[in-house]
């Protein structure tokens, strides 16, 4: 019998030709396979058709991916988004209640980029829709004309909070990360511990306090070439270990 934990990965809903599809980027699945030594299981974002607890009964962890879409601003009482902004209301309707239930149930959770922003909103925080238009912040978007290795390469430093989870993993207080986002934390939710801050002051990572399971969110993309980055690999290994531990407890 396989000892690999099963990690649920909510999909994005995309229109391809005339049909809607539920899809997950391969780089996220590969990172869970190689970094967390886990079996990823794609969760369709069809919340109205299933019970969240039925989903959680099948998984040992949940991973929230990045996406080209942004969380709809009405989810955090934000101003209406500009025309042409890409949203995924089916994903929002699935991941936001799912995230709350995951934390309550103690299911290990890891969230990156859009997933990090979903975690912010699920916990009651708010987002800047366009960080690059907020005075004092840098432009955190990628250059879409760059080759992919440059696009996902190191973009700016973040300071890791001393004594925090990421600081212990990295063994350093400052690391370089990639940056491919337009939304960012505006109001930090209550009940979290900041783990990383960009050089312009933008919150880039936190852990969730007072929950029974592993719960880490980061704004950057550690899944990219996970085995080639010491901190990224440590994050996925820790997540995988938490999922294996949770799986063992469920089987008792």
Judge residue 61's burial from the number of C-beta atoms within 10 Å of its C-beta, 0-12 exposed, 13-18 middle, 19 or more buried.
buried
182 contacts 132 by C-beta, under 8 angstroms: yes
Q: Is residue 113 among the annotated active site residues?
A: yes
Q: How far is CA 98 from the centre of its chain?
A: 13
Q: What one-character-per-residue DSSP string does 218-240 give? A: ESS-TTTTGGG-HHHHHHHHHHH
From the list 72, 68, 67, 77, the residue with the least C-alpha distance to 187 is 77
Q: Is residue 26 among the annotated active site residues?
A: no
Q: What are phi and psi of 96, to 5 degrees?
A: -65, -50
Catalytic residue among 90, 128, 167, 221: 221
Q: Is residue 12 among the annotated active site residues?
A: no
Neighbours of 178 (CB within 10 A): 22
Catalytic residue among 113, 118, 167, 181: 113
Q: What one-character-per-residue DSSP string does 53-111 give? A: HHHHTT-SEEEE---SSB--GGGGTPPPPPTT--B-HHHHHHHHHHHHHHHHHT--EEE
Strands 109-112 and 215-218: parallel
Neighbours of 134 (CB within 10 A): 14
Catalytic residue among 72, 118, 195, 223: 223
Residues annotated as catalytic (active site), given as ranges:
113, 221, 223
């Amino acid at each position: 019998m396989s000892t690999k934990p099963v990690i649920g990965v909510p999909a994005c809903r995309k229109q391809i030709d005339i049909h809607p599809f539920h899809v997950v980027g391969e780089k996220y699945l590969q990172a869970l396979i190689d970094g967390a030594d886990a079996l990823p299981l794609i969760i369709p974002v069809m919340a109205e058709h299933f019970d969240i607890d039925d989903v959680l009964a099948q998984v040992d962890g949940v991973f929230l991916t990045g996406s080209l879409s942004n969380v709809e601003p009405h989810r955090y009482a934000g101003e209406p988004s500009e025309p042409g902004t890409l949203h995924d209301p089916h994903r929002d309707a699935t991941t936001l209640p799912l995230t709350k239930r995951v934390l309550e149930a103690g299911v290990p959770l890891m969230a990156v980029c859009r997933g990090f922003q979903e975690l912010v909103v699920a916990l009651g925080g708010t987002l800047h829709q366009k960080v690059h238009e907020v005075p004092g912040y840098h432009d955190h978007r990628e250059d879409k004309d760059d080759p992919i290795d440059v696009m996902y390469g190191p973009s700016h430093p973040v300071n890791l909070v001393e004594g925090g989870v990421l600081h212990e993993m990295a063994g350093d207080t400052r690391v370089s990360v990639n940056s491919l986002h337009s939304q960012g934390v505006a109001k930090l939710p209550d009940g979290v511990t900041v783990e990383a801050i960009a050089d312009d002051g933008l919150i880039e990572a936190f852990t969730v306090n007072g929950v029974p399971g592993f719960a880490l969110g980061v704004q950057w993309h550690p899944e990219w070439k996970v085995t080639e980055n010491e901190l990224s690999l440590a994050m996925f290994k820790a997540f995988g270990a938490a999922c294996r531990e949770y799986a063992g407890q469920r089987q008792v």
